[in-house]
Structure 1
Amino acid sequence: MKIFYLGNLKSGTTSFQRYEALKRLNHEVYAKDPYEKFQNIFNGKLRHFHFYSGYRFIQKKINEWIKEVIESNFNPDIIWVNSGELFGSKSIKILKNLNKPILLYNNDDPTGNISRWRFASLLKAIPYYSLCVVMREINISEFKNRGAVNVLRITMSYDEIEHRPLDFSCNIQSNYLSDVAFIGTWMRHEKRDKFLTELIKLGIPISIWGSRWQKSKYWKILKPYYKGGALSGRSYVTAIQGAKLCLGLLCKSNRDLHTTRSLEVPYAGGLLCAERTSEHQNMYKEGEEAIFWSDAKECAKVCNELLLNETLRERIRLAGMKKVRSLKVGNEDICQKILDEVNYKCLNKQ
């Protein structure tokens, strides 16, 4: 299948991982990166303005660029738009001139209240996509209410190559060894810093990797437990495998009931210790394939118990690794599921 892929192609991004997965499935993928094309806008002084205005004021430039890229000789079978935050309704109408199905894949929560300013352009374009791929059950009705023709709900995914475990015979560098690790970004309204501070006060030996933690009002407490900036690739996998337990914190503003960490951690060989939700409990048997908790106090309790029981930790970790593979939620699996849906609902109708 020939696929015209529009998304972020920076190495390490989830968008790049999906692009690579499509190629591994032996599709012919012609890709263009609008983020690279307009990097002067995204890195310039007005980047926050454009972000918070939903990219409304650069739509003319975006549309001119789309006209340029579709004038190539590439004749795709489908068009895959990843994220879609940059493309308004006119952008998708231009792409429709190719007379091919156009699918939107969005990991975020564009129909949630907190995201609507960022996705203002995308929201107007929803009716013009042939298929919208979403991550949350609640997104299905919200997308349909905004005019979506077809909606497919999937889970988040790990990447079969990017997140593959290290050879367990390898010695992990000491700077990646930890008891309880959290790998993720500080977010202003998510209260992750408050939660981790509570764990520290309860005596849990935390190790933190990620961006922007210096912005936290709890930074003085967190600083001794901070190990470094954002991790990706082999460093990310090494930190997961080097931890006895890996915390999975949700993004509440995105209405998450699971995240990519929910799948990446067990796949990479870590033991997932995450917030108890209906989706986590549907994925893993609690206490057998992953560990769940409802608040800092319960989290500290289960962490302390597991840190003292290596045999139990190893049994749960191995069971989690086995279970996540049985779920068939790697990027290749998910991409194939999406393409099958496009073929069934869109290509067969043309």
Structure 2
Amino acid sequence: MRRRICSRLFRYGVPVSRPDVANDNARLLAAAKQGHWDIVWLEKALTIGPQTLVGVRKHCPVARIIGFSPDDMNGRHNQSQQFLKALPLYDYFLTTKSYNVHELGNRGCPNVVFVGNGFDPDTFRPLPVSSEDRIRLGGDVGFIGTYERERADLMYYLATQGIRVRGWGSNWGKMPWQHPNLAIENTPLYGDDFAKACATFKINLAFLRKINRDQQTTRSVEIPACGGFMLAERTDEHLELFEEGEEAEFFASREELLEKCRHYLRDNQARIRIAQRGYERCLRSGYSNSERLREALRIILGQGALNYQHVNCCP
């Protein structure tokens, strides 16, 4: 409760620190005293303050302090007072948000590296599906993700135009409308069920999260990695990740979304071909988490100061 209150106050501009209820700072300092580490990896470390990183540097003078977050760390809703004060003490910060590169640099981080979103190949991979799986999980057009009003608007619009849509995810109890063509499960999918759902939906919708100013998300690579046909919002980064009309499909308006849903629901061969090529692109271009990390570490450990260098989004 205290952490929630402090987080809300911070969002409203009050310079209050986030409570360190798990004693993260003490545990990190204890680990630094016990070993001579080459890398100290901090993942969205909102409770770690600058004094702790000074202590880490004292005990591990050659260690490179690397931060990572898949969220928009220039957004107040993703920050903390400790994070902002500690950011200049990171050696590198890895972000999946391209626009964060200069923003975090302007906040004092000496080296900010952009890495594209990745997927875990042990979780997100093509799986055989049964007729029961198709009934239980799939359908014509599907979306797997958290409720947002704009997403709901588009899904409802498709339903009113005769497209059968099914949604899985959290917070869909907020959905303000109902329609015979719209099935809302209000349950998240994980693991094999997620992978099978991607395979059993004829078309997988991939929406971006506007509050994070997304140009791509983990879904952008997870859906094709599962062998699913992806229809995503058109952005420059999506167009770099996948060739439009060959490895994935994209839309920029609800009218284009509807037209492409209708087209690919009719054209089974094209849909299957594009899904297969999207999967192959994930493997060929190294979109897995391990490949993304390997490329980032190659740059960090193999070169000197980067000064806002980017990892290539899609080799």
Give the TM-score category using the shorter length. 0.7 to 0.9
Q: What's the CA shift string for 1:206-239, capped at 9, x where partnerless?
A: 11000011123x2545995112411111111111
Three-state SS of the structure 2 residue aligned to 1:191 is: helix
The equivalent residue for 2:290 is 332
The equivalent residue for 1:178 is 139
CA contact (8 A) 1:213 1:219 kept: no
Q: Residue 47 of structure 2: which of 80, 86, 91 is its match?
A: 86
Distance in 2 of aligned mates of 1:262 and 1:248? 7
Q: Which runs of structure 2 are paired with 1:62-77 in the superposition (5 Å)? A: 62-71=24-33, 73-77=34-38
5+ residue gaps in structure 1?
1-44
1:287 Cα offset (Å): 1.3
Please tell me whether residue 146 in structure 1 is matched to residue 104 in structure 2: no
1:66 Cα offset (Å): 2.8
Please tell me whether residue 245 in structure 1 is matched to residue 200 in structure 2: no
Counterpart code for 1:66: L
Q: What's the CA shift string for 1:224-270, capped at 9, x where partnerless?
A: 51124111111111111111110000011111111111101111110
The equivalent residue for 2:246 is 288
Distance in 1 of aligned mates of 2:84 and 2:302? 25
The equivalent residue for 1:105 is 68
Distance in 1 of aligned mates of 2:56 and 2:6? 23
RMSD: 2.4
1:90 Cα offset (Å): 2.5
Distance in 1 of aligned mates of 2:131 and 2:158? 31
1:282 Cα offset (Å): 1.5
* TM-score using structure 1 length: 0.78
Counterpart code for 1:286: E
1:76 Cα offset (Å): 2.3
Q: What's the CA shift string for 1:269-325, capped at 9, x where partnerless?
A: 101100111111112121111111112221111101111111111111111111122
Q: Residue 262 of structure 2: which of 296, 304, 320 is its match?
A: 304
Q: How many residues align?
A: 297
Counterpart code for 1:302: K
The equivalent residue for 1:96 is 57
Counterpart code for 2:74: T
Identity between Structure 1 and Structure 2 (%): 28
Distance in 1 of aligned mates of 2:9 and 2:198? 37
Distance in 2 of aligned mates of 1:334 and 1:53? 35
The equivalent residue for 1:48 is 4
The equivalent residue for 1:28 is none
The equivalent residue for 1:273 is 231
CA contact (8 A) 1:110 1:119 kept: no
1:161 Cα offset (Å): 1.1
Please tell me whether residue 126 in structure 1 is matched to residue 87 in structure 2: yes
1:109 Cα offset (Å): 0.6
1:184 Cα offset (Å): 0.2
